[in-house]
Structure 1
């Protein structure tokens, strides 16, 4: 597969995890990513001491990344309530991450089912699936340790997810993968070096951000390849479906039950989050790179942009 690359600069991400924009297609990118994976992959099962007691003063995510930070409700909380809130919020985010990683795995396996097994593209696709399995276990253990429970999307969104993973193809599938990974990446980059956050959660974030950077490069290359020669009607439809999927994923990240489990009034918390200009601003600024890519490949159409603006991703 061959993808165009108008820019000949180089993207540097996490040391030697580098993919040049001179690369010509999924196989060339995948070969570099396979080498990067062999050098840089990490194992949370051995790297994290899962039995280490948690400091009661440490947050689950940076306070500034709490969905209620900057609201009157936040100002009313005790410090202990704020810590509990961020732990339940981030557990919810990780659990929704597990849900989408399971969708991702099925889509990638289906896409590569009768692929060219000898190619780097196929081999990195399987590497990505293996990474996602490890990430899901890591998130599950982190959630177990931090709050001792699981969160799931609503039944309606869960059913939509099943439809998406069984029907999405080409640019819709890989853009959906990219959007979900970028959304989770936004939250984790904001928290992974904050010493206010639990040390094992910072390590979880570091591992996931590092390894997902490879997955996002792979997805971007697959999207570029899929968009070659795509006509106006298909581009419009694909862009809209991707945007609607992104909206459902993003709005599902922090479940109302997480607020209840943190001892808050869930209805009031959801209303406060909906009106929280600080949180909206944090999300918009962090999604800039994703929106730039979608625009580059022709998937940020006017109808799609309206959807992204409605959920404050644009």
Structure 2
């Protein structure tokens, strides 16, 4: 078990890492290409990949679908990053700003704002628009920003970051994907690795003396948050706007074993971490299975 001194040392190392290696794509490579003949993301990450609907589509229609889907995925990422900042800045508003963890938090918030601008640039470069979030996602975001405590805040955000990390590792090296998405994915993977390390350590810190009851409650609430994020990535408006029958598309997505396999792959590192930290009880496991995350 790590000590407070170990934690402070790790936070200091993360801050120094951020000073050495950080990016800002607001004004350069992100605008290198207008994406008209590229996928928005690795096609295998489309929830419809391999379904009868997908198989009937032309290559051009599949590219358009993935551009719309990835634009929504990035919109959810922005929503998650803004919510994270609200929660953590509120909790640290009066904290000692010279503390190692608070210093890194300031740097993380700076990163998250640049990530949001970077994702907006990628969406625009794809020629797409922001898809309105489901009302449930908006409501849950309010609950999260208002009531989430310590390990809940870090745990839910870690869930979202882990899912995006695995997806974007694929997108960043796939030549079929638009340049703007590849570049923004590469930056996000590099910088979010520090954020995920920070979140994992903060969870350990907050659970160091936690009771079994608190661990069990936190485990379930983190699972609920991960479930809502996973389900929020599927937006019926996208499919309707493309002229697809939402009932058919939803039926195929819900029964798409390839889609479930990809999501389980995306959350494997998260599930392993939660299990190791005592945040994967019976109820949480059931929720993750219902979300196709386990």
TM-score after normalising by structure 2: 0.95
What is the alpha-carbon distance in structure 1 between the residues aligned to residue 228 and residue 270 of structure 2?
16
Map of 2:83 onto structure 1 = 103
Which blocks of at least 5 consecutive residues in structure 1 are unaligned?
Answer: 6-22
Q: Secondary structure at the match of 2:130?
A: coil
Map of 2:2 onto structure 1 = 4
Query: Could you tell me whether the CA contact under 8 Å between 1:74 and 1:82 is conserved in 2?
Result: yes
Map of 2:263 onto structure 1 = 283
Which blocks of at least 5 consecutive residues in structure 2 are unaligned?
Answer: none
2:19 is aligned with 1:38? yes
Extract structure 1 runs of 4+ deviating beyond 4 A.
none
Map of 1:47 onto structure 2 = 28
Which segment drifts farther, 157-166 or 255-264? 255-264
What is the alpha-carbon distance in structure 1 between the residues aligned to residue 124 and residue 207 of structure 2?
41
- Displacement of 1:209 in angstroms is 0.7
- Displacement of 1:51 in angstroms is 6.0
* Root-mean-square deviation (Å): 1.6
Q: Of 213, 230, 233, which aligns to 1:250?
A: 230
Map of 1:178 onto structure 2 = 158
Map of 1:121 onto structure 2 = 101
Query: Could you tell me whether the CA contact under 8 Å between 2:30 and 2:121 is conserved in 1?
Result: no
TM-score after normalising by structure 1: 0.90
- Greater share of helix residues, 1 or 2? 2
Query: Could you tell me whether the CA contact under 8 Å between 2:71 and 2:128 is conserved in 1?
Result: no
2:37 is aligned with 1:57? yes
Query: Could you tell me whether the CA contact under 8 Å between 1:239 and 1:299 is conserved in 2?
Result: yes
What is the alpha-carbon distance in structure 1 between the residues aligned to residue 42 and residue 155 of structure 2?
28
CA shift digits 1:210-259 (9 cap, x unpaired)? 11111000000000011112112111111111100110011101311122
Matches within 5 A, 1:296-311: 296-311=276-291
What is the alpha-carbon distance in structure 1 between the residues aligned to residue 257 and residue 176 of structure 2?
23
2:58 is aligned with 1:78? yes
